[in-house]
Amino acid sequence: MAQASDLSKINEKSPYYDITPGNQIYGGGGAREFHTGEWRVKTPVIDWNKCTQCLLCTPVCPDSCIAVKDGKRQDFDLDHCKGCGICEKACSFGAITMKEGI
């Protein structure tokens, strides 16, 4: 039975024998452990009173940071959101505002 790669063991201090043969990685989506949210300057903030759950903001996110659950969008994944602001423009109801200093 194939085992998923233990990403915690693979870093810039790992000895050669912990570097996977052929640099192959087993198991998907490990990039989640890398938090690109640190790149962000402006942060999207949602006003749930204005949000109509039209979902137009969800497909336009380049960083898969707006999850949809039971037909409703969830709050932003700020661990990964890079603050591009595309969602703010996609919202026709003014429910998303990009704010600095959050």
Q: Based on the shown chain and the rule CB under 8 A, indicate whether residue 82 belongs to the binding site for other proteins.
A: yes
Place of tokens 């052929």: 22
The Cα angle at residue 46 between residues 40 and 48, in degrees rounded to 5: 165
19: exposed, middle or buried (Cβ count in 10 Å: 0-12, 13-18, 19+)? exposed
Q: Based on the shown chain and the rule CB under 8 A, indicate whether residue 45 belongs to the binding site for other proteins.
A: no
Q: Based on the shown chain and the rule CB under 8 A, indicate whether residue 93 belongs to the binding site for other proteins.
A: no
Q: Based on the shown chain and the rule CB under 8 A, indicate whether residue 29 belongs to the binding site for other proteins.
A: yes
* Site size with other proteins, rule: CB under 8 A: 60
Beta 96-100 vs 68-69: how paired, if at all?
A: unpaired
Q: Which residue ranges make up the site for other proteins (CB under 8 A)?
A: 1-5, 7, 10-12, 14-17, 19-36, 39-40, 55-56, 58-65, 67-71, 77, 79-80, 82-86, 88-90, 98
